[in-house]
Structure 1
Amino acid sequence: MKVAVMGAGAVGCYYGAMLARAGHEVVLIGRPSHVEAVRANGLRLETKAFDEQVRLEASTEAGAVQGADLVLFCVKSTDTESAAAQIQPHLAPGALVLTLQNGVDNDARVRAALPSHDVAAAVVYVATEMAGPGHVKHHGRGELVIAPSRRSEEVAQALIAAGVSMQISDNVRGALWAKLVLNCAYNALSAVSQLPYGELVQGTGVTDVIRDVVAECLAVAKAEGVVIPGDVDAAVRGIAQSMPSQYSSTAQDLARGKRSEIDHLNGLVVRRGEALGVPTPANRVLFVMVKLLEGKQPQAGG
């Protein structure tokens, strides 16, 4: 299977490298410094089980999606429409565009930009970071939950064979909201404090704030008519236990002077709460604090 990763950050590089290790033809589409490093030495995939230089292709051009059977769409939520427009002229008619993004509405936004193509949402549970150009570090987990589509079964089998735990679900919207709740609970707090999850939850009053944030998210989801699967409270508690050394993507963005996805996390809950008449004061405070921190630093780019 030919695979293109549009937006080759930590998440896209991890799954792209796992597929490349399994023998699939993979091209990473990303920033020049990253692409140059991958072209020169391959992609270093550092996990607790192995540390390898994985050979794959890399490009800075959206046109590199040409001929791909599967496009892992991994750009920041803020870049969704622009990135979808960039790949649109180059997509093969039968390609599946799988959105591996934070937030709950990216697949709908991609589908609107690519009305003639197959688009499916994926929920990502993985702890990764870019440790430098051409170097992705995997801290734990790695499961995917994807929506049904014409090629979902084929993609699922390829990913499972590549060592990725995954399932196809008819309730990906609920799973996306479950992931959103986790992100809203941890991302902003990790960003403001610049602490990993394990240390973060030791702070005075932190678990109380998390409880308030989660309650607001669940109230908004209920008003939206979303059924969230599983034990949400247990999942929230489990994040700090399963990923104690992980900094949130929002924390990593702020540390690098980059724009974060907070508008599509706590910000989305605030906006939907306002539209539905559900109060979201805890989410609003976290959203505003991250936006203030974003405004204090020069932006390093999308």
Structure 2
Amino acid sequence: MGEHTYGILGTGALGGFYGAKLQKAGHNVHFLLKSDYPDVKQNGLIVESKDGDFLLPQVQAYNDVGKMPSCDVVVVALKTTQNHLLQQMLPAVIKDDGVVLVLQNGLGIEAQVAEIVGNIRVLGGLCFLCSNKVGPGHIRHLDYGQITLGEYTSNYYPSGFTDKMQEIATDFENAGISIELVEDLLLGRWKKLVWNIPYNGLSVILNATTDELMANMHTRQLVEQLMFEVILGAKSTERLIPESFIQTMLDYTVKMKPYRTSMKIDFDECRPLEVEAIFGNSLKKAEAGGVNLPQTRCLYQQLKFLDRKGKR
């Protein structure tokens, strides 16, 4: 049995996948669910994966955070549109000497979490994962799965590699999850946005999967232009990403199995979109550094319209 106990807040395509892998490896994992709770409580979790399918017939499932035990590591795998719930959730489930691991998209998320948990350590994880929830407690892992892990510090000052980072990385690696440790979490978040901003935004606005965006000359050029803007945004915060990274992300996507992005799934299911965390916060950071990102702002404005229309 693994030494750390894990609490998973948000047992969807991402939290369910990583939490299930941790339990399969022997860790004591507790899962918070909403609509899937009755099914998972009775039938467990099903994971179809390119790395091998498996079933966890029994998991420790909860529909009330107040009933969960205090955990060593609390994994925040909710959509950022639900982060208003963290004020009530996190104090109820984190140990006094515990760690919060934020597996969410966007910028500035760890700072919000740190305000809630005070002196408790906060880590950020950037997930390069193609995974969908295809039914209650049923997750289909299509491709990739690596997590880039860094420690949050005030103002995102580079932290180096801490012992706690290494411990959690070892747990994930022993569960078959590839981990990359980074000294500079803010740089890691900007690098993730090089992919997230073009593909999440365009997939919604153009009703397209990743392969469709890459197959068309005009949309591929638009993807590249947006990636270049994100690099300029990163530079405004003194984080340098080489332009060669754009080609790396393009090649990464070409090799990826055809994928409907998480934002496109949310849009199709009439759920709130993570517009502010991914686009709004990035634009604010760049503007504070004196940099204008016109094409990113155009995406932001269109997505705000579609998000509000969907809520109606």
Q: TM-score, normalised by structure 1?
A: 0.92
Rounded Cα–Cα distance in structure 2 between residues aligned with 1:144 and 1:274 = 29
Deviations 1:131-158 (A, max 9, x none): 1111111011111121244522221111
In structure 2, stretches of 5+ residues that fail to align are 151-160
Q: Could you say which residue in structure 2 is the equivalent of 1:122?
A: 125
Paired with 2:116 and 2:221, the residues of 1 have a C-alpha distance of 40
- CA shift for structure 1 position 227: 3.3
Q: Partners in 2 of 1:75 and 1:136 — Cα distance? A: 15
Residue matched to 2:196:
183
Matched-pair contact (CA < 8 Å) for 2:98–2:121: yes
Equivalent residue letter for 1:4:
G
Pair 1:124–1:224, CA change in 2 (3 A): same
- Secondary structure of 1:297's aligned partner: helix
1:85–1:113: 8 Å Cα contact kept in structure 2? Answer: no
Q: CA deviation at 1:229?
A: 7.2
**Is 2:93 the counterpart of 1:90?**
yes
Cα separation, 2, equivalents of 1:269 and 1:118: 24
Q: Does 1:237 align with 2:240?
A: no
Q: Give the counterpart of 2:40 among 34, 38, 53.
A: 38
Determine the structure 1 residue equivalent to 2:285.
Answer: 272
CA distance in 1, matches of 2:32, 2:53: 22
Q: Which residue does the alignment assign to 2:274?
A: 261
Q: Is the CA contact 1:174–1:229 (under 8 Å) kept in the aligned structure 2?
A: no
* 1:162 aligned residue (175, 178, 191): 175
Task: Give the equivalent residue in structure 2 for 1:296.
Answer: 309
State yes or no: 1:99 paired with 2:99: no
Deviation at 1:269, TM superposition (A): 2.6
Q: CA RMSD in A?
A: 1.9
Do the aligned residues in 1 keep the contact of 2:237 with 2:286 (CA within 8 Å)? no
In the superposition, relative to structure 1, how do residues 45 and 84 fare at CA in structure 2: closer, same or farther (>3 Å)? farther
Partner of 2:225: 212
| 8 A Cα contact 1:145 1:169, kept in partner | yes
The letter for the 2-side match of 1:28 is F
Which residue in 1 is equivalent to 2:208? 195
* AA at the equivalent of 1:222: K
Paired amino acid for 2:251: G
The secondary structure found in structure 2 opposite 1:296 is helix
Determine if contact 2:231/2:240 at 8 Å carries over to the other structure.
no
Shift of 1:34: 1.1
Inter-partner Cα distance in structure 1 for 2:269 and 2:6: 29
Alignment match of 1:139 (pick from 133, 138, 142): 142
SS in 2 for 1:198: helix
Q: Report the Cα distance in structure 2 between the residues aligned to 1:8 and 1:291, rounded to whole angstroms.
A: 26
SS at match of 2:7: strand
Maintained 8 Å contact 2:147/2:180: yes
* CA distance in 2: counterparts of 1:155 and 1:12, whole angstroms: 15
Q: 2:187 aligns to what?
A: 174
State the AA in 2 paired with 1:99. Answer: V
CA–CA separation in structure 1 for the residues paired with 2:242 and 2:181: 14
Q: CA 1:116–1:96 in structure 2 vs 1: closer, same or farther (change >3 Å)?
A: same
State whether residues 73 and 94 of structure 2, in contact with CA within 8 Å, keep that contact through their aligned partners in structure 1.
no
For 1:56-111, what per-residue CA distance to the aligned partner results, in whole angstroms no more than 9, with x for missing partners? 21112223553211111112223334314322133211211110010121111101
Q: Distance in 1 between matches of 2:84 and 2:112?
A: 7
What is the aligned-residue identity percentage? Answer: 26
Question: Mind listing any 5+ residue stretches in structure 1 that lack a counterpart?
Answer: none
Change (3 A) 1:284 1:230: closer
Deviation at 1:202, TM superposition (A): 1.8
Q: Does 1:47 align with 2:60?
A: no
